[in-house]
Chains A and B, each alone.
Chain A
Amino acid sequence: MFLEVIYETGAHSIMEADDENEAVDAIREQNRRAENGEMGGPGNRPAERVYKVLKYDKHPNDFNIEQVVSEAEVKAAFKDILAENIEDGVVHLPQFLADMRLITSPQVDSEPHESNYKMQETGELKWGEK
């Protein structure tokens, strides 16, 4: 299973674990260190309190990884993105194409404590007190 760990600092990480118990032990340890002012790892950066952990069946980076999307999705995106890029009756084509390219991006521009990914999580991991 894959997990998106969202820290109180707004940092995010993806971790892979065999099961929830394995993940919970690690997350609690990182959180314990943060509460005690300890380092987060061998790189000697401060540990961070964990805010929320989301569960996924596969790595959320795999959303549209083949960069192949349905005709309907392309048409819908084309219409919306074109509308956003029309100014005084003209379209700046490179910007329009750059925006179209983001259809296959697995990430979203999220708030600090929200998921970074388009892929829908399967649930939230209960790892302890927030």
Chain B
Amino acid sequence: MAVIAFQRLSQLVTDYVLGASGTITPPASWTMGLATTNVGSGGGTDYARNSVWSVTVATTNINEIGSTTAAGYARQTIAKSINQGAIDWGTSTFDNTFATGGQSTAADEVTFGAFTGAGPSPNGANSWVLTDGSTLNAGQPYFAGDTAATRTYAVGDTQKVTATLKAG
């Protein structure tokens, strides 16, 4: 699965964690979104380190499903806490293997849907994106991963996503 960490994620580490910035700060909560576009591998229409949410499906933009017609789609909240909130982050785990190891954490699983009617427009999720806010095609993207296959939704469908972040 292709994954990417966007620049805003590392900027939170350098500015907020290392430098105690009061302007580059984490959001009140994290949200998870689904996008029609894919992470890829750095190509002209793949994600870039500075990708942004946009309705325009071109270059390195991230385009959210349901941004024209939601049809049951909405972003899902992940609380800014560890093993406290209803849906939040797990306890850190550590893998000391030099080449492949690192520290990681997994969020609780989030559920999308049930999708309604003829499904969202645009439809067909190719990636999930950890972001903020509830407004579609807006907010800061932090990290993303491709779905195993294109997921196209019809009435009654749900979708489960578990986000994991590993720093190695």
Contacts and interface: CB of A to CB of B under 8 A. Distances in A.
B68 interface: no
A116 B153 contact: no
B41 interface: no
23 contacts: A13-B112, A14-B74, A15-B74, A15-B116, A16-B66, A16-B70, A16-B73, A23-B72, A25-B155, A26-B72, A26-B116, A26-B155, A32-B156, A60-B77, A64-B28, A104-B28, A105-B80, A105-B81, A108-B86, A109-B84, A110-B86, A116-B86, A116-B87
Q: Most chain-A CB neighbours within 10 Å: which of B116, B133, B151, B155?
A: B116
Nearest to A9: B111
A12 B158 contact: no
> Of B73, B81, B111, which is in contact with the most chain A CB atoms at under 10 Å from its CB?
B111
Nearest to A111: B86
B42 interface: no
Interface of A: 2, 5, 7, 11-17, 22-23, 25-30, 32-33, 40-43, 45, 47-48, 58-62, 64-65, 67, 101-102, 104-110, 116-117
Nearest to B84: A109
A15 B29 CA distance: 18
